[in-house]
Chains A and B, each alone.
Chain A
């Protein structure tokens, strides 16, 4: 199997033509939708071939739909032209999901931003292009929030969150995007519009996390909840990464259900410190950030104490945030980890493994050892409460061997699988981890996944090259 193109300069990068895309598809779309919604100049198309991790093929045309009807028309036109279709939100994803693997049509949902809050039903009706944070901002005056909070929540769209089944720090206690979806609308590969709920066959569930390979989600009905009255934050730091994982396991075993439990290793802390200058402990090997929340302050504080005790027993040093502002600053630090790593090396391979919590201490130590034995900078952070870790390999593609990066990523994936884990918690498989699927999923199950794909996308037109490894290829 061909190794992934981890760099910007993939073969598909330099298109032959300058200026407009003089193809029938672009002309057709412009006739159907008007010039405002269709991008066909090279300068425009070049900007719809990447996400936050990978560059892919330059699309033949880009559509910026303003309604569901526009999406239907665009899908039909692409089908008639026989080209693949890639859906795209804000392209802040970390698995190559929105980067096309071959030239085709990109449908970018950033202009579909209609949002309605129904406080009586505790629901939000959001079109795919609504910014994640906007849902909570609109709901808050009604005493409600939308809990899924990926690090990119200021940028990312609901459609993108649904496609990747995004998580976030809140997901330990409150769950991920999919847990908040009551219903959704999607356009299928033939341009047919469907409205589905969670009953009968849970088709909505199938679409969520399918990374645009089964249909294009255009709108969703999201569940809102009242926010907890009280939140308390602590930070603990540890002289060793495994000790941090032990503290997490012990705290949860003791009965704590924190709303957030996040971990950063030394390299992450330092990258963030270079950016924000918050006074984080630069010398610590691991930093743990914890929120407990609830409507009864005593319980919230007792719960925080349980975590503090577990941290101290594991050899950690605990600091409680004195004010809400201090807590907010610490969380801003955590949200900035991923992009702040760009200060260390220009490129990275992002893992998204989930392992049983009991295996955490062994897993973080084994991955640390793999990193130390490799020529690369390897960092770890993640939603450790869920066992969701993001080992990142940082590299410079001009000076370092990208095949070796891929091999190290593979070894990390195998550590997770050996400990009973999975390949993706919240960022999707995309093209980055597609190769590892043959290790993670048995051939019979892979065949079942392919059957589902064929049933919903018989022409294999929707986001090809993602999630599923080519059939007949063994690992």
Chain B
């Protein structure tokens, strides 16, 4: 799309945005992929429409506040990136745009406080854990609370487990075949500590030693995707200091959103002094299923014990795994490698579940519609188990599947592998 975006005044992020706008030929192939277009059926709430809006705002032809409602509804799921034949890096565009536009936004004091609270609590596992446990007691009050407070409570499990800090070093079992660094993540440490415990066990079992480098923190994705660029930059730089890519075969994450966030570092630092460091770092980042999928493809993955009975597993593609990282085959391959497991494909599998980082908190109505639709689609396959590779999807799907009265366990792919190794599947 031809544009007059004033790149000279916008710097590195301006280049990122102008490049993406340039690449769009407004063909409309993205429309059927977009969850908000599916729900709302209008052009402004489609990827193509949003690109036009961002271009107009950047060129000065449209006030930011006019475009904002439509841009805020974008989940950042990047299904449009998968669908786009022209190669438009839409994810980079919306992220850079949010970072550029947030300081110019006029927000109500309530809105401002809510966003500040989210960005304070989410990246701090201990604070989050306390908040989640307080929230679990407030759950009975949910029906009488305003939507903004109700939606986070709805997502909390009935029982919030105690924190289980992971050891800084987990040795390899048997012959040492590799050494990886691991990002422990934030909210999931509080909500689902077993994700990390299972990850460490499975890696160790495969002869991989795992280091949890000191000084690491939140990946910064939540801050970045909500436009809090300065906060995000602090977190990004802290992680660049904590992880030395030369020391490890890979830098692993088991949360799709975090992994995608880590892979975005070169874009975040485009045109800045740390760009080369960010590239070296990002080149080592892998999702846990991508890494183990590599072992499976090489024929070096330790075989698991068979499932105790034939199990149908509905695998949900997390947007930040499938669309943002292009990781689709590996989690399915890993599940299929367990004797007795059949992987089921979910109708409308490419459509976001509505969790999308903080979307549940910011756009509860659309998030709920998508969550209901996703749960319905999953349950139409009649699974014994539901698998995904992202904490956000996990809580959203669990909440909506339960609401629709189904008790099928919702698990991380790695938890299923872990159970299979232990003969407990």
Residues in chain A within 8 A of chain B (CB atoms): 7-9, 13-15, 18-19, 39, 41-44, 46-48, 50-52, 64, 90-92, 108, 110-111, 131, 152, 154-156, 272, 274-275, 336, 338-343, 346-348, 397-398
Contacts and interface: CB of A to CB of B under 8 A. Distances in A.
> Counting chain B CB atoms within 10 Å of each CB, which of A18, A47, A52, A347 scores highest?
A47
B121 interface: no
B424 interface: no
Contacts of A339: 25, 27, 29, 84-86
B23 A342 contact: yes
A404 B24 CA distance: 23
Contact of A46 (B3, B41, B62, B84): B62
A466 to B, nearest CB: 18
Contacts of A156: 28
Given A13-B61, A44-B42, A275-B85, A152 B2 contact: no
Contacts of A9: 2, 4
Given A110-B41, A342-B85, A347 B2 contact: yes
Interface string B47-82: 001001100100001110011011000000000000
A43 B2 contact: no
B145 interface: no
Given A274-B87, A339-B27, A340-B86, A110 B32 contact: no
A349 to B, nearest CB: 12
Contacts of A64: 41-42
A92 B27 contact: yes
Contacts of A343: 23, 86-87
Given A50-B26, A339-B29, A342-B25, 17 more contacts: A8-B2, A9-B4, A13-B61, A19-B66, A52-B26, A91-B43, A92-B29, A155-B28, A155-B31, A339-B86, A340-B86, A340-B87, A342-B27, A342-B87, A343-B23, A346-B1, A347-B25
Interface residues of B, number: 34
B87 A19 contact: no
A18 B66 CA distance: 8
B238 interface: no
A8 B61 CA distance: 13
A441 to B, nearest CB: 29
A7 B4 CA distance: 12
A48 B4 CA distance: 20
Interface string B315-342: 0000000000000000000000000000
B22 interface: yes
A340 B69 CA distance: 30
B32 A41 contact: no
B44 interface: yes
B87 A398 contact: no
B23 A19 contact: no
B62 A18 contact: yes
Nearest to A43: B66
Contact of A342 (B24, B49, B56, B62): B24
Contacts of B85: 272, 275, 336, 338-340, 342
Interface string B332-357: 00000000000000000000000000
A18 B63 contact: yes
A336 B129 CA distance: 47
Contact of A52 (B4, B25, B84): B25
A41 B32 CA distance: 24
A331 to B, nearest CB: 14
B5 to A, nearest CB: 11
Given A8-B3, A47-B52, A110-B41, A152 B27 contact: yes
Given A42-B62, A43-B66, A90 B2 contact: no
Nearest to A39: B42
Interface in B84-107: 84-88
A154 B52 contact: no
Contacts of B63: 18-19
B84 A108 contact: no
Interface in B113-136: none
Contacts of B84: 339
B52 A398 contact: no
A152 B29 contact: yes
A330 to B, nearest CB: 15
19 contacts: A8-B2, A15-B61, A41-B66, A46-B52, A46-B53, A47-B44, A50-B26, A51-B26, A52-B28, A155-B32, A272-B85, A338-B85, A339-B29, A339-B86, A342-B85, A346-B2, A346-B22, A346-B25, A348-B25
Contacts of A336: 85
> Counting chain A CB atoms within 10 Å of each CB, which of B25, B32, B84 scores highest?
B25
Contacts of B41: 64, 110-111
B29 A155 contact: yes
A110 B31 CA distance: 11
A92 B70 CA distance: 21
A136 B88 CA distance: 29
Nearest to A9: B2
Nearest to A88: B43
B28 A90 contact: yes
Nearest to A332: B85
Nearest to A396: B2
A64 B63 CA distance: 24
Contacts of B43: 47-48, 91, 108
Nearest to B21: A346
B118 to A, nearest CB: 26
A154 B66 contact: no
A346 B22 CA distance: 6
B62 A43 contact: yes
B249 to A, nearest CB: 25
A39 B25 CA distance: 24
B323 to A, nearest CB: 15
> Counting chain A CB atoms within 10 Å of each CB, which of B28, B66, B84 scores highest?
B28
A405 to B, nearest CB: 13
A325 to B, nearest CB: 14
Given A8-B3, A19-B63, A48-B43, A91 B28 contact: yes
A110 B28 contact: no
Nearest to A340: B85
Contacts of B66: 18-19, 41-43
B351 to A, nearest CB: 14
The 4 A-B pairs with the shortest beta carbon distances in the complex, nearest first, are A342-B86, A342-B25, A8-B2, A339-B27
Contacts of A398: 2
B138 to A, nearest CB: 35
A346 B29 CA distance: 16
A354 to B, nearest CB: 22
A346 B62 CA distance: 22
Contacts of A111: 41
B109 to A, nearest CB: 24
Contacts of A46: 52-53, 56, 62
> Counting chain A CB atoms within 10 Å of each CB, which of B2, B41, B56, B63 scores highest?
B2
Contacts of B56: 43, 46
A8 B70 CA distance: 21
B3 to A, nearest CB: 7
B38 to A, nearest CB: 11
Interface string B366-400: 00000000000000000000000000000000000
A8 B32 contact: no
A155 B69 CA distance: 24
Contact of B1 (A8, A91, A154, A275): A8
